[in-house]
A and B are shown apart, each in its own frame.
Chain A
Amino acid sequence: MKVALPVVTLQRIAHTLQRMYNEEKPAPLTPKGAAPRCHPRPIAEVVCYSSAPTSRKNISAPPADSESGLDNFGARFNSSNLGRFLSPDDPSGPDNEQDPQGLNLYSYVQNNPMNAVDPDGHDCFYIQESAAYVIRGDCSAAPGGATAVTYVPGTINEKSGVYDANTGTVSFSYTPYWTPPWESPKLSFEVIGNVHPTHSGPTEFDKFVSRVAVGADNVNAFALQVGIQDIAGVLGRMIGAGIESVLAARAAANAAAEAAEVANLATKAASTVGNQGAVASSKATALAAAEEFVGPGARPIVDRATGQVVGKISADGSKVYRITSINKAQPYVNLVNNTTGGNLHVRF
């Protein structure tokens, strides 16, 4: 049976909210249980507590208090009409004049709801410059450039961090502050995306990195990520420069080495006299050298019987490469220079 609230009750709630809004330190309210339902957020998005998961795992979607109409975040109440919490968050560190939004302990996700969510207004995880951070309290201490800002409804165990290099996912366990009676407690959360945890400044995440460095179970994940065996050296470089920059430098070095190899092979083929041989590091490198050898405008060479392309001939017809021997026991690409009469067999 549906029972309407008395007008007096509604007026009292409205008066209380107005008074709390005008005061600097309004009194916190006690959470009350409520049935789950979709609820409009102040940022004009509609979220549902039991909705399908999105890329951001901890989408903020608290149940609403049926009597007051406030959003029950577990530890605090938020008024969607006022766009702020009704009680201050736990102090999370010294005030930062460069981050004035962090001074307001009543604000919802530092008034930046498009980039962050806050299930209960407590612990926070974020990514900045390839480093993962865990901070206590809300995200008021998170810098402006932080991404993947995730408010966790409980206390994050920073030592539980696990990084999956294959999916780029970092996950932590946490002790929930409060769980709706209709749901099982969630004991972990994960952030999906281009996450590369590393050390950058004094954060709680240092412990995670230290734990990896001394050979905990996350070493394998990092070893897979970088693909080499020198775990200690790799971790040292990662900690110093960040995983992304290390991988980027490695990729750039590999690309530069391959480009140099391709150029050397093509140059050698252009000046080869007689039959000579060379070894490429890979089939792709050998073919790239062959392509560079015949140059732009080269035309394909088609096998008359099979119709398969078996090589290319340069635009002026003076240079040819063929891969007709590619299925032999020792495959190679044959670079033929009709000008010099030379053959360069590039094996791989």
Chain B
Amino acid sequence: MNAKDLETLNANVDRVVKITTCDGESLLAKVVLVSDEDEDVVYELISTSREAQYEKFDEQPAYRVTFQEIESVEPVASVPPSPPGPPGKSTK
């Protein structure tokens, strides 16, 4: 994880980001907390490419991932941009 990824995490607290870990897992996570001191991120898991490896709990826990485990971070737009419409015709 580079400085830009950290900046992305800090800029997206309470928002959804796509995190790719060093072991290849790709997950969508809502960032709860980014700790420079402990060098980790607390997040709510939204979806993952390895759902089978997650233990099932009665209530959905939050998760922690360390900076060292993160390969890259990408912001995810909360509202997808609307597709461009067909070119309109002037009525005039």
Per-residue CB proximity of A297-334 to B under 8 Å, as 1/0?
A: 00111111101011101000100101011000000001
Main secondary structure of the interface of A (DSSP, over half): strand
B residues near A317, Cβ cutoff 8 Å: 32, 44, 62
B residues near A325, Cβ cutoff 8 Å: 38
Of B33, B37, B60, the most chain A CB neighbours within 10 A belong to B33
Near A by CB (< 8 A), chain B positions 35-92 give 35, 37-38, 40, 42, 44, 55, 57, 59-66, 69
A residues near B37, Cβ cutoff 8 Å: 334, 343
Indicate whether A238 reaches chain B with its CB closer than 8 angstroms.
no
A residues near B64, Cβ cutoff 8 Å: 301-304, 310-311, 322, 324
A residues near B32, Cβ cutoff 8 Å: 313, 317, 320, 338
Q: How many residues of B contact A (CB 8 A)?
A: 21
Near B by CB (< 8 A), chain A positions 285-307 give 299-305, 307
For B27, give the chain A residue with the smallest CB separation. A304
A residues near B63, Cβ cutoff 8 Å: 301-304
For B59, give the chain A residue with the smallest CB separation. A299
Indicate whether A152 reaches chain B with its CB closer than 8 angstroms.
no
Alpha-carbon gap, A310 to B38, bound state (A): 12
Alpha-carbon gap, A302 to B64, bound state (A): 6
Q: How many residues of A contact B (CB 8 A)?
A: 21
Does the CB pair B61–A305 fall under 8 Å? no
For A334, give the chain B residue with the smallest CB separation. B38
B residues near A324, Cβ cutoff 8 Å: 38, 40, 64
Alpha-carbon gap, A320 to B41, bound state (A): 12
Does the CB pair B38–A322 fall under 8 Å? yes
A residues near B13, Cβ cutoff 8 Å: 338
Does the CB pair A313–B69 fall under 8 Å? no
Indicate whether A336 reaches chain B with its CB closer than 8 angstroms.
yes
Does the CB pair A300–B38 fall under 8 Å? no
Of B21, B32, B57, B69, the most chain A CB neighbours within 10 A belong to B32
- A144 CB to nearest B CB, Å: 54
Does the CB pair A320–B38 fall under 8 Å? no
Which positions in B face A, CB cutoff 8 Å?
Answer: 13, 21, 32-33, 35, 37-38, 40, 42, 44, 55, 57, 59-66, 69
